Amino acid sequence: MFIAIEHAIHDPDAFRRCAEQVFPLPEDLRVHHFLPADDLSRAACLYEAPSVEHLRSYLDCALGTASTQRYFPVAEAHAIGLPPRQLA
């Protein structure tokens, strides 16, 4: 499933350090887009994962207090510009 994330970034330097530790991703997670704001106060991401809960448990732990995430499953039938699936 595709999952969109909105990151509210509280500490840009810590977010960058934590984000580097996220990679390489586990085999069952794929990031397709990372769209940071100019000032790195926010970012949007598009992931592919088995579930929102699975992705949340991995990313929230890795990002710690550097940011707060809001996750939502993408309504694929109504979305525009989704990439090809990479996970079975």
24 class by beta-carbon count within 10 Å (0-12 exposed, 13-18 middle, 19+ buried)? exposed
Q: How far is CA 88 from CA 38, 49, 74, in A?
A: 34, 10, 17
pTM of the predicted model over 0.75: yes
The 10s digit of each residue's pLDDT in 1-30 is 999 999 999 999 999 999 888 999 999 999
User: 27-74: per-residue pLDDT in tens?
Assistant: 999 999 999 999 999 999 999 999 999 999 999 999 999 999 999 999
